[in-house]
Amino acid sequence: MLGTGLIGLFYTMTLHGQRGRDRVSAVYSRTENRARTFAQKWDIPHFYTDMAEAIGHPSVDVVVIGLPNHLHEEAVRLCVEADKAVLCTKPLARTGEEAKRILDMVEERGIFAGYLEDLVYTPKTLKAIDSVRSGALGDILWARSRETHSGPHSDWFWNLDMAGGGAIVDLGCHCIEIIRNFIGKDIRPLEVMCWADTLVHPIEADDNAIGLIRFANGAVGQFEVSWSFRGGMDLRDEVAGTEGTIWLNHFLRTGFEMFTSGEGGSYVAEKADQESGWLFPVGDEVSELGYVDMFTDMFNAMESGVAPRETFYDGYVVNAIIDACYRSAKTKRWEQVELSDWRGSTGTVPIKGQMKTYDGLHLIKHERMPDGTVKLILRDPDTGVVSQRLLSEHA
């Protein structure tokens, strides 16, 4: 385990959780005291302040990177040199160019690599993705993902050089990959329109942003991110298709609400703004945030010799989209997503709903009115004239 911050903590809690057989055998931290304390708390046999030594320990067969963004490339390089499988937290890198170098390193060496995008693995998201892939929603027209909270927990997130950006890099990477999973990772993202600004905090990076992503089949993804939202962590997704809709709420208003005067002063949930009043605790946090299913998928894939659901290539595509977001935020225009390596479909068919007809006219809409009658909105394919027709109550 490389890193002893919040993400390293969540990863270790997951791996050591319940009665699982997976264990962290060595941990690395940039400070000796944190490495020792973390190792003692989680019964980890070996701790290091030298990254290469931690990676190279004989007991280590998989390296989990839970480090600040600016250290990802170096950590992956050391894993490649040690010929160790590697799992990297989100985002894969600070830029698309950096992500491509990371991708090339693992592929040239042929080592197993997985992208730890946990919010794609939440139980609700997995079930929703399966519904979409089964055709329950028809063609996906629009997918929206929102992640907002009061800001990150460690200093390096707020440093533009270390992080590579602000809320878009930190939170938008989640949203973008969720959108890709719903619209289809085989569908090429073409261009981005993005607004980003620093509204609240005395930093150089963005603390609020909204973006639109246009895909090759005409579908649109929308993300909303903020480091200034108050009230806890808001994780929500919406998916709209030609045949259905999905709404997901992962963290607030999920059915667990509690009022307390605050006398207990106990932990509530990640990014909770308060410990008293009406609270929204989370049952099994590492499961609800996707960590359990994520590591299960990674290890099953590695043992079966197949690719996991989320790969370093996915991380590269996400970084390329983020790059386009930052360009668009500056130019105030649609900006192309620059992908030097596209592995998806190249002959995407535009979304086109199934054409239905009535009396030789194209059916635009079928609706039952309050009085029981049925109204049809129709278009003449020859003249283009749009008309309506009322049918009997029994139609």
pLDDT tens, position by position, 318-338: 999 999 999 999 999 999 999
**Sign of the CA dihedral with 79 first, then 80, 81, and 85 last:** positive
As a whole number of Å, the CA-based R_g of the chain is 24
Among 90, 106, 129, give the residue marking a domain's end.
90
Q: Quick one: average pLDDT of 112-128?
A: 97
For residue 75, pLDDT beyond 80: yes
Residues 124 and 163 in one domain: yes
291 in a structural domain: no
State the pLDDT confidence band at 265, using cuts at 50, 70 and 90.
low
193 in a structural domain: yes
Residue 394: predicted pLDDT: 62
Range of the domain at 184: 119-286+312-336
For residue 174, pLDDT beyond 90: yes
Residues 148 and 217 in one domain: yes
For residue 270, pLDDT beyond 80: no
3-state secondary structure (DSSP) of residue 313: helix
For residue 134, pLDDT beyond 70: yes
Beta partners for residue 148, in sequence order: 226, 234
Residues 44 and 193 in one domain: no
**Sign of the CA dihedral with 38 first, then 42, 47, and 49 last:** negative
Residues 188 and 239 in one domain: yes
List the single range of 46-55, 177-186, 261-270 with lowest mean pLDDT: 261-270
Distances (CA, A) of 335 to 195, 215, 326: 12, 13, 9
Residue 267: predicted pLDDT: 72
The amino acid at residue 351 is: I
Residues 375 and 329 in one domain: no
> Distance between the two ends of the chain, CA-based, in angstroms?
65
98 in a structural domain: no
Q: How many CB atoms lie within 10 A of CB 187?
A: 18
At 30, list the tokens: 């940039």
Residues 38 and 124 in one domain: no
For residue 269, pLDDT beyond 80: no
Residue 347: predicted pLDDT: 87
Residues 183 and 266 in one domain: yes
3-state secondary structure (DSSP) of residue 328: helix
pTM above 0.95, yes or no: no
The amino acid at residue 322 is: I
Closest CA to 28 of 8, 3, 58: 3
Q: How many domains does the chain have?
A: 3
Average model confidence (pLDDT) across the chain: 94
**Sign of the CA dihedral with 114 first, then 118, 123, and 129 last:** negative
306 in a structural domain: no
Residue 7: predicted pLDDT: 95
